[in-house]
Amino acid sequence: MEQFSTRQNKISRLIQKELAGIFISELKSEFMGLLVSVTEVRVTSDLSLARCYLSIYPSDKSEMTLNHIRHMVRPIRGILGNKIAKQIRIIPELEFFVDDSLNYLEKSDRLLKD
């Protein structure tokens, strides 16, 4: 298992909290009828890249939504930069991925019940 420094963990939590707020308030109109939540953020050791894992509901629209988010990465990073500029010197590049662990868990539960 990969070890993260205290600084990486703090930056990860900060980015996760702010991205969640951005998806809820500022990008609400972009994702009408969808629930986009930030489940985890992992920051590289040099703090230059943040890998953001998203849970998207309903899951059948997750790929389409993820592609839309990836096309909007620059404006999202700009909004994030405005929010956390006082706490961090360089805003990391953002990469978005679907966190399908909840789908996997749901599928496992369904298989165990049958």
Question: What pLDDT digit, counting tens, does each position of 83-92 carry?
Answer: 999 999 899 9
pTM: 0.83
pLDDT tens-digit readout, 42-78: 999 999 999 999 998 888 888 899 999 999 999 999 9
For the residues of 2-58, what is the DSSP string, one character each? ----HHHHHHHHHHHHHHHHIIIIITGGGGTT-EEEEEEEEE-TTS-EEEEEEEEES
pLDDT tens, 5-23?
A: 899 999 999 999 999 999 9
Per-domain residue ranges for the chain?
6-113
The per-residue pLDDT for 46 is: 92
For residues 30-55, one letter each, b for 16 or more C-beta atoms within 10 angstroms of the residue's C-beta and e for the rest, the string is ebeebebbbeebbbeeebeebbbbbb
Alpha-carbon gap, residue 43 to 13, rounded angstroms: 10
Point out the least confidently predicted range of 2-6, 40-44, 110-114: 110-114
- The C-alpha atoms of residue 86 and residue 32 are separated, in whole angstroms, by 31
Given this structure, which CATH class describes domain 6-113? alpha beta
CA nearest neighbour of 49 among 81, 7, 5, 95: 95
